[in-house]
Structure 1
């Protein structure tokens, strides 16, 4: 494990916090809390159920929801599928109109595409120049038959922060449901579902220093009767998601969300300082452009495009672990659909890096990252401009 590159890809996944690992391990092994939460007839199952319900309360507490409104899933992708397909299938052949955007995660875009093939009408809104979807754009796209709007809270490539409260007010006034993919927002943005006009919200543990393979869907009162299960067999989770609950993963997600609440203010302020420091170190680089709004955003994610520069991506990757697009698209050679939607061409997309900071990023990491980025821009044209 020596000589690993510096980790600047927290938006792709986070390492599990050691405090979360301790909780997770307590649910494994013969001496641990290994019972089936559905086995309520004996102490093993009862203790496991208690751990599950504690975690449900912990997740709900971070986002201002009630515990009974949290449904366990395998991650944000399943939560997104359950939200979109579950609501669409409740319409029993009526069809209708769904609104999303061109810069959503593929878990939403591909699901919306499947629903379009099934006969639903789908509108994909273009972002504005700042990488945002405005309430006004949503209002203009609403139709008489619009029954669902699905938009993310924080963009996974740009770090831009949508006004989901303003969007939700428009959607609720219209009578439709609003689903929000908050995989990149939980623990980074203060969320209050008790007051926000949001009906469904997706979460993932591994973006919040929890394990992979576990997530949740918030189901508000307006959405409950309109949601249909996608996985059947046993009627778990109020009939919305069958399957034996993974106590160790659920307990870990609860611990991760509880910890995120405890360190929220301090961690957010520290990461904001680190991002400012990184940008200050990069300020003398010509031909560098920031993608997305520098005001309406989180501090954790930064998208930079090196325009007309000889950017040595391979050399930089030996020093920094970074992304150009979301993790689910990284195996593809196609340019980022988010950057294309912003009006960047394919070449600019290839000259773009996403740097995401997190709990274990240090000031020294930031300084070394800035040095590595400058070293990767070794074209004579770059240095000629830089010297002037």
Structure 2
């Protein structure tokens, strides 16, 4: 039985071009880039080249790229590091996050509240998972240090109006962080190409969401504001993130970003074309599965992302039935997989706990065929019918 992976918002395969670019830094050029001998200098040169590619892809200078161990660390560094830097600079102890942020942001904000006396406001969202500038305007205060809002939600796919939100934050003198982990493969991270990011002071990215390896990411800084490190040691990354750099990982992230950029240039209509396929898939699921309801915004959502609740059916039994038939899907965030609690994202959107427990998410990539999506719809319909018997 062939497997169809429709859980690619969780992770994707490493691209061959990425693996080939990484290989030399896992074998012959394996040196520590902080070492001063020939092997170390060769690794350092590879790291510098990778950082230059990442900087070009994100529209910044090389020193503004802080390499991290993934998207979670990038989010933590932004939320904790920028807030502690703001406190040290006398800019206030208030942080605003949306109620549907990734756990990496929410937990970082909770840490600040618990250990540093920071007051955290969770900004409400509507039933599509979006917040708006008016809500943020009413929540902002003179002592607000940071606002953190994800570009697109990993569970329901909703895209936030980050430019308008960032304008509100800037108007009140607060820093603005955008978690762009889910959009990095679809949209340019260079504000010159993606004006919605023009108001961002910091942007998080993770390699394994766009064809790179797991365990590497970056925080892209568009601000000179003070950033306190959260990992201490040898002072790498301009004393902002200590630890021996993952050279091969950085090369992988650089190549993945470069390939994504080349594909966007070659297929400028890729987002709209995939969104049309997404809309057809959503319509087919709603027609084939009685009671299925789309979650997230119907239009302002990721192009290869379809999420539903199916009241009356258990989400986990449905996922298991699909898995048994070769269709890989998820109930939402991979970071929360296996828990019995309803999704906090769906609860924040107004769903009842029992309904939130029926969530199911389908996400795909460029290699996913129309036949794959058609098979998924048919299998979902058969599985749902079998569970209802």
Normalising by the residue count of structure 1, what TM-score does the alignment of the two structures yield? 0.91
Deviation at 1:270, TM superposition (A): 5.0
Number of the residue aligned with 1:356: 363
Superimposed CA distance per residue, residues 13-58 of structure 1 (whole angstroms, 9 cap, x where no aligned partner) = 11101111111112122xx22222222x343223222221222222
2:71 aligned residue (76, 82, 85): 76
Mapped pair 1:282 → 2:278: no
Number of the residue aligned with 1:272: 275
Confirm or deny: 8 A CA contact 1:177 1:222 kept in the other structure.
no
Kindly report which structure 2 residues correspond to 1:68-217, keeping only aligned pairs within 5 A, or say none: 68-90=63-85, 91-92=87-88, 96-118=93-115, 119-193=117-191, 196-217=198-219
Q: Which whole-Å CA distance do the structure 1 matches of 2:294 and 2:233 have between them?
A: 48
| Structure 2: tracts of 5 or more residues without a match | none
Kindly report which structure 2 residues correspond to 1:1-388, keeping only aligned pairs within 5 A, or say none: 3=1, 5-29=3-27, 32-39=28-35, 41-90=36-85, 91-92=87-88, 96-118=93-115, 119-193=117-191, 196-223=198-225, 226-264=226-264, 266=267, 267-269=270-272, 271-285=274-288, 286-308=290-312, 313=318, 314-319=320-325, 320-378=327-385
Confirm or deny: 8 A CA contact 1:274 1:366 kept in the other structure.
no
The verdict on how the C-alpha distance between 1:101 and 1:24 changes in structure 2, with shifts beyond 3 A counting, is same
Mean Cα displacement is larger for which, 243-252 or 373-382?
373-382
Deviation at 1:93, TM superposition (A): 9.7
The verdict on how the C-alpha distance between 1:76 and 1:381 changes in structure 2, with shifts beyond 3 A counting, is closer
Q: Which whole-Å CA distance do the structure 1 matches of 2:22 and 2:239 have between them?
A: 26
Number of the residue aligned with 1:385: none
Confirm or deny: 8 A CA contact 1:309 1:379 kept in the other structure.
no
Mean Cα displacement is larger for which, 70-79 or 89-98?
89-98
SS of residue paired to 1:249? helix
Deviation at 1:192, TM superposition (A): 3.0
Superimposed CA distance per residue, residues 296-330 of structure 1 (whole angstroms, 9 cap, x where no aligned partner) = 11112211112346875131222311111201101
Confirm or deny: 8 A CA contact 1:271 1:358 kept in the other structure.
no
Superimposed CA distance per residue, residues 264-289 of structure 1 (whole angstroms, 9 cap, x where no aligned partner) = 25353553343234234324233221
Deviation at 1:343, TM superposition (A): 0.8
Q: Which whole-Å CA distance do the structure 1 matches of 2:287 and 2:353 have between them?
A: 25
Q: Which whole-Å CA distance do the structure 2 matches of 1:84 and 1:188 have between them?
A: 24
Deviation at 1:189, TM superposition (A): 2.3
Q: Which whole-Å CA distance do the structure 2 matches of 1:269 and 1:46 have between them?
A: 44
Number of the residue aligned with 1:386: none
Superimposed CA distance per residue, residues 214-239 of structure 1 (whole angstroms, 9 cap, x where no aligned partner) = 0100122343xx21111122211111
Confirm or deny: 8 A CA contact 2:93 2:143 kept in the other structure.
yes
Deviation at 1:341, TM superposition (A): 0.7
Q: Which whole-Å CA distance do the structure 2 matches of 1:336 and 1:324 have between them?
A: 9
Mean Cα displacement is larger for which, 232-241 or 183-192?
183-192
Q: Which whole-Å CA distance do the structure 1 matches of 2:213 and 2:259 have between them?
A: 14
| Structure 1: tracts of 5 or more residues without a match | 383-388
The verdict on how the C-alpha distance between 1:129 and 1:310 changes in structure 2, with shifts beyond 3 A counting, is closer
Task: Give RMSD over aligned pairs.
Answer: 2.1
